[in-house]
Structure 1
Amino acid sequence: MKVTRHAKIFELIATRDIETQEELAEELKKSGMNVTQATVSRDIKELKLIKVLSSSGNYKYATINQAENNISNKLVNIFTQSVVNVENVDNFVIIKTLSGSASAAAEAIDSLRFEGIAGTIAGDNTIFVLVRTQEQAITITQRMKKMIKE
């Protein structure tokens, strides 16, 4: 019963904006699962659900992975809005950003986990990305250029 209930909870929070334990309990009851608010509270703790801001401006339950994806999407948006140029020099990718935006864009790069990146260093408007091979650096440069053009 517990495994089925947990699966249903994941399904519900993925398809609906559920703000409270009471709402979640009500949705479970509609699905034929007789639960108490206390049971739902324990399930939320066991499943490590968190509350995140929904697109409507209210809070909703989400998994940690959903929250990380939401943050990653925001960081990608910051990257695409702040980067003005990307170029490749040997094993380095050099990225020029709007003034004061380099650290946020570098955080986005780190969150995207490009294969081959050894590390990033951000200044005020420039990011140096050390890549393990020149081929990987070329690939990453192309991907970043494509990101800022879209």
Structure 2
Amino acid sequence: MSKISYYTQEGLEKLKKELHELRTKGRADIARQIAEAREKGDLSENAEYDAAKEAQGLLELKIAKLEELISNARLMDESNIDLSKVSIFSTVKIKNKKTKAVMTYTLVSQEEADLKAGKISVESPIGKGLLGKSVGDVAKIQVPAGELEVEILEISR
């Protein structure tokens, strides 16, 4: 049983676009590589053919995983997000109690996470530690570098 993941419209479209590209361009590229390797003769001793067949298997595995991900994806209506508590798709402004650094993160599904864009996964230690908290709450989060203590300053959409 696969787990259901929640996505924004943008995130779900990105997954669908990647799947379409793998099904069309990716499969065509692999088929071309296999055909070229076949033309080189004896398949029993043809490393290029073996490599192309292995690449084909990996491509098909990736396609199957994306298809499963999309079939279990749910589109989240961002207008229904409760802004009194941190939840998926909330944008949270936090302050590190130790360093006084202020950071802003948007909590998203694991597949949409992109730290450079300020999007962290709800599955990450920080994401898990922030879920369910309200403005003014202090969250103590266990991260690889030790314990992180942050105060929730603002929750928005």
Could you tell me the TM-score, scaled by structure 2's length? Answer: 0.28
Higher relative contact order, chain-length normalized (CA < 8 Å, sep 6+)? 2
